[in-house]
């Protein structure tokens, strides 16, 4: 049996999306910038994709910028946003549990002379709103926070943050990294009050190398890629038409009429899975569970077992998961998120992430639990001293 439980790393592209992408590669391969009919047709596909996406965010199709994925979307919003607003101030604020595609652009800003405030989080990984309120000042130009934490599935109070930021000063740019949240939560952008919101295609069964950035009308962002002026000059380069058409379809499918039912099912799977995990010896679930957390991510620490060893032992039995932290003999890559939420030292290197998609079945999860039940006692015999 095989159980792919690493859907927060990437997902399988869904069949209708594959068919559409192949059709575009094979038949409708025009360049949307071409003046002839083939170009016009390609442009129509882009238009349709941005309409499909806009419908899921309740925004205008003109507010969708296609990108190569989550990392580029985050970079465009943060670097491009800070640059456009740099005359108003040099202070930016971000949570301390972000993905590296947010963290690193902020570090880059730090090096360019911006002042960065890293907001602390509580033991569940939730951003401290009081810290945000006291950090905001006249110099603040950008606030960024992720919607769902990629390592433990914590759900951040992005609407409250939006209100706090915009009440303080509506001119401050508010960016939301929704890469793990999109497709699992309804994200009406007008309620979040965000100016930008980033999404990655391959987390929602669209191809890798696709993604988008929502940019609210009137928001000033400097492009970070220059060239032929495609997409209104915001991101030059011939559009990945097949990929974006696939992304549009995947977005529509993610938010279909069965959305609530699918989410309920995921929460039920997660509840059972976390209960089963807790029934094993020496297992801790990190962060909140239930409706207060993301429906598709479970972070668990396994006492006395190294994550990487457990990961490979599971892989031998066809179960694919992520280790909470990259790891090697000199341990350079312990997760800063897990450290930030206060996971004790010995468990940092013993944490796995299980992540589901709508195709995940009860059988796969039962198989995973059963395998863990067999493996854990064996692996605990051989602990490094």
Partner 1 sequence: MITAFLIKYGEIGIKGNNRYIFEDALVRQIRHALYGIDGGFKVHKESGRIYATATEAFDSDEVIEALKKVFGIVWICPVEEIDDNGFDDLSEHCIRFLKESYPEENFSFKVQARRGRKNYPMDSMEINAQLGGRILDAMPQTRVDVHNPEVLLRVEIRGKIYMYCKEIPGPGGMPVGTAGKAMLLLSGGIDSPVAGYMISKRGVQIEATYFHAPPYTSERAKQKVVDLADEVSAYAGPIRLHIVNFTDIQMAIYQKCPHDELTIIMRRFMMQIAEEIARKNDCLGLITGESIGQVASQTMPSLLCTNAVCTLPVYRPLIGMDKQEIINISEKIGTYDTSIEPYEDCCTIFVAKHPVTKPLLHVIERDEKKLDGIEELVKKAVDTEEIISCGKKIPEVY
Can you tell me the distance from the alpha carbon of 148 to that of 124, in angstroms, rounded to the nearest whole number?
A: 12
Active-site residue list: 327
| Count of residues interacting with partner 1 (CB under 8 A) | 17
Residue 321 in contact with partner 1, rule: CB under 8 A: no
Q: Is 277 in the site for partner 1 (CB under 8 A)?
A: no
- Interface residue with partner 1 among 138, 217, 329, 345 (CB under 8 A) is 329
Q: Which of 313, 340, 352, 372 binds partner 1 (CB under 8 A)?
A: 313
Residue of 99, 148, 95, 132 lying closest to 292 (CA atoms):
148
Considering the complex, state which of residue 65 and residue 313 has its C-beta at the smaller distance from partner 1. Answer: 313
**DSSP structural state of residue 76:** I
Residue 315 touches partner 1, criterion: CB under 8 A: yes
Backbone angles phi and psi of 11, in degrees to 5: -120, 165
Binding mask 89-108 for partner 1 (x = CB under 8 A): --------------------
CB closer to partner 1 out of 124 and 336:
336
Verify binding: residue 310, partner 1, rule CB under 8 A: yes
Sign of CA dihedral 251, 163, 72, 154: negative
Which positions from 126 to 165 touch partner 1 by CB under 8 A, shown as an x/- string? ----------------------------------------
When asked if residue 357 is in the footprint of partner 1 (CB under 8 A), the reply is no
DSSP string, 13-47: PPHHHHHHHHHHHHT----TT-SSHHHHHHHHHHH
CA distance linking residue 177 with residue 73, whole number of Å: 9
Give the list of residues 6+ apart from residue 365 with CB closer than 8 angstroms, or none: 3, 5, 269, 272, 273, 276, 356
Task: Indicate whether 260 belongs to the interface with partner 1 (CB under 8 A).
Answer: no
Task: Work out whether strand 297-302 and strand 283-285 pair parallel, antiparallel, or are unpaired.
Answer: antiparallel
Residue 2 in contact with partner 1, rule: CB under 8 A: no
47 vs 331 by CB, closer to partner 1: 331
Contact 72, 80 (CB under 8 A): no
3-state SS, residue 299: strand
Confirm or reject binding of residue 312 to partner 1 (CB under 8 A).
Answer: yes
- Does 382 bind partner 1 (CB under 8 A)? Our answer is yes
Among 42, 297, 311, 376, binds partner 1 (CB under 8 A): 311
Which residues in this chain contact partner 1 in the complex, by CB under 8 A? 308-316, 328-330, 332, 381-382, 384-385
């Amino acid at each position: 049996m095989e159980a792919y439980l690493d859907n927060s790393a990437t997902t399988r592209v869904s069949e209708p999306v594959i068919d559409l992408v192949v059709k575009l590669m094979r038949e409708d391969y025009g360049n949307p910038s071409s003046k002839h009919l083939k170009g016009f047709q390609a442009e129509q596909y882009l238009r349709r994709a941005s309409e499909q996406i806009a419908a899921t965010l309740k925004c205008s199709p003109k507010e969708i910028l296609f990108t190569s994925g989550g990392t580029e979307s985050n970079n465009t919003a943060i670097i491009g946003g800070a640059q456009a607003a740099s005359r108003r101030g040099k202070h930016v604020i971000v949570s301390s549990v972000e993905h590296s595609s947010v963290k690193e652009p902020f570090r880059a800003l730090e090096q360019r002379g911006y002042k960065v405030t890293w907001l602390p989080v509580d033991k569940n990984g939730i951003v401290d709103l009081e810290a945000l309120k006291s950090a905001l000042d006249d110099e603040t130009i950008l606030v960024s926070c992720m919607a769902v934490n990629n390592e433990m599935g914590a759900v951040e109070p992005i609407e409250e943050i939006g209100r706090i930021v915009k009440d303080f000063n509506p001119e401050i740019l508010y960016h939301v990294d929704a890469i793990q949240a999109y497709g699992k939560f309804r994200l009406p952008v007008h309620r979040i009050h965000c100016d930008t919101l980033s999404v990655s295609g391959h987390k929602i069964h669209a191809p890798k190398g696709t993604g988008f950035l929502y940019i609210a009308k009137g928001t000033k962002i400097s492009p970070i890629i220059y060239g032929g002026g495609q997409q209104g000059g915001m991101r030059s380069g011939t559009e990945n038409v097949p990929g974006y058409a696939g992304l549009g379809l995947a977005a529509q499918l993610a938010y279909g009429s069965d959305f609530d039912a699918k989410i309920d099912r995921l929460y039920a799977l997660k509840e059972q899975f976390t209960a089963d995990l807790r029934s094993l010896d020496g297992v801790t679930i990190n962060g909140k569970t239930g409706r207060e957390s993301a429906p598709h991510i479970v972070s668990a620490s396994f006492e006395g077992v190294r994550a990487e060893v457990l990961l490979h032992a599971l892989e031998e039995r066809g179960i694919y998961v992520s280790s909470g932290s990259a790891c090697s003999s000199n341990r350079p890559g312990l997760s800063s998120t897990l450290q930030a939420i206060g996971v004790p030292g010995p468990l940092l290197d013993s944490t796995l992430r299980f992540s589901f998609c709508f195709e995940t079945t009860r059988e796969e999860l039962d198989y995973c639990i059963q395998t863990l039940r067999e493996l854990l006692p064996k692996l605990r015999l051989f602990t490094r001293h």
